[in-house]
Structure 1
Amino acid sequence: MENKMPLFIVTGASGSGKTHVVQQLRAIMPEFNVFDSDQLIAFVGHEWEEIRNIWLRVARDVAQSGRMTILCGTMMPWDVEKCADFACFSHVYYVNLHCGDETREKRLRARDWSEDRIQEHKRFAQALLEIADKDFNPPMPTIDTTEADVARVASQIKDWVLRYA
């Protein structure tokens, strides 16, 4: 690709609000393509490597038309860097959506998640906070979705994207 564009990833542990913010982002950022990475699960199951590769290929093709992409889904740099189309982007930026433990538990229980899975995602959410400054370049900012409404979260994501777009 001649003119590489950045890729934006809205990550976070399950229950943080990634899927919930997609429609609002589309509404306030029509110049970007915004995707929920979980939409492929119905077709390829939980094959996360395949899902990441498909989404980066889609984002690469979108970039060839001069548009940028925002992917909403749990993706980590060490996994994204292994994707076939990783080198097609000028940079991959990450922002972390995070909510408090009680809120996460409530959201995941509403999905009928087991206690073990809920605890696993609470630990993962904490780990993301701990590595945000050292495993991400630039350091990954965190947006707290515990009490914020979806419009406010989308606005914060928009401000973050526009700093790098």
Structure 2
Amino acid sequence: MKKKLILPLLGAIITLVFASFSFLPKADKELYTFKDLKGEKVDFKQFEGKYVYIDVWASWCGPCLREIPSLQDLEKKHHGKDVVFVSLSVDQDTEAWKKMVIKKGLEGNQFHFADNNDFVQKFNIQSIPRFILLDKKGKVKAADAPRPSSEDIEKLFEQLGI
């Protein structure tokens, strides 16, 4: 009888211990909540049914800025198809981000991570630019997707029928 009590109790203790660690991801729906240029909260529910190609960047990042023309070309080429392009700034200074969006004439889905460190932790983002591809159900298809300047992104899109 003691064995019957110990196993469930041990399982509950293990669950509580692991649930308390900060590196365990929250539910995906919370991970994909950011702020738009107006400062309003947005989430990726609006993109359900489409692939989501995420560009994680910052206004001060030279390699990020060099990817912008290739990203814009990729967006134009795949406009109206089953993919949505999202640029997600990790700038600490939101005004610098907004100014760069204006300076570069960036359009489309421009979001700020708004201190959503869970997103940064989930994807272990230690350097940028970083590109992530979600499938049509919002699940991670490629946590480290090819850059827009790479021919590999077109190959990946072709494989997915985009």
Q: Given the two structures, how large is their TM-score scaled by the length of structure 1?
A: 0.29
Q: Which has the larger radius of gyration?
A: 2
